[in-house]
């Protein structure tokens, strides 16, 4: 089943983004955390002590669980909107 609802709005044009070296298709302007969630890339950051996977949680910029590396910079993916060719890295982001 397509999880995107197309009844009310037309989305932007189809673009490609790279997530951990894998290319996935999305619509331009869609929310990054939502696209990752519905394409089953739910593991975003790794927790600091227990090294557990964490993922999108609050969707309003509060919890900071959806942090990923976008073009090498830490961002909360819930307020990032897809642009063609974005490069995303997930997992252990605490690299110096």
Q: CB 23 → another protein: shortest distance, Å?
A: 20
Ranges within 75-94 binding another protein (CB under 8 A): 79, 81
The SS3 of residue 82 is coil
Task: Label residue 33 exposed, middle or buried (CB < 10 Å: 0-12, 13-18, 19+).
Answer: buried
Cβ distance to another protein smaller for residue 23 or 40? 40
Tell me which H or E stretch contains 36. helix 32-38
Cβ distance to another protein smaller for residue 18 or 52? 52
Q: From residue 76, give the alpha-carbon distance in Å to each of 2, 32, 64.
A: 25, 9, 6
Q: Would you count residue 20 as binding another protein (CB under 8 A)?
A: no
Residue linked to tokens 């997992």 = 91
Q: Would you count residue 26 as binding another protein (CB under 8 A)?
A: no
Binding site for another protein (CB under 8 A): 1, 3-12, 27-31, 34, 37-38, 42-44, 47-50, 52-65, 67, 73-74, 79, 81
């Amino acid at each position: 089943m397509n999880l995107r609802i197309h009844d009310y709005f037309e989305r932007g044009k189809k673009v490609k983004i790279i997530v951990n070296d894998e290319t996935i298709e999305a619509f331009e302007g869609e929310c990054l955390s939502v696209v990752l969630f519905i394409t089953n890339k739910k593991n975003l950051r790794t927790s600091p002590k227990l090294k557990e996977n964490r993922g999108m949680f609050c969707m309003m910029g509060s919890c900071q669980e959806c942090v990923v590396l976008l073009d090498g910079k830490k961002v909360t993916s819930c307020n990032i909107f897809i642009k063609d060719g974005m490069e995303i890295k997930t997992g252990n982001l605490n690299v110096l």
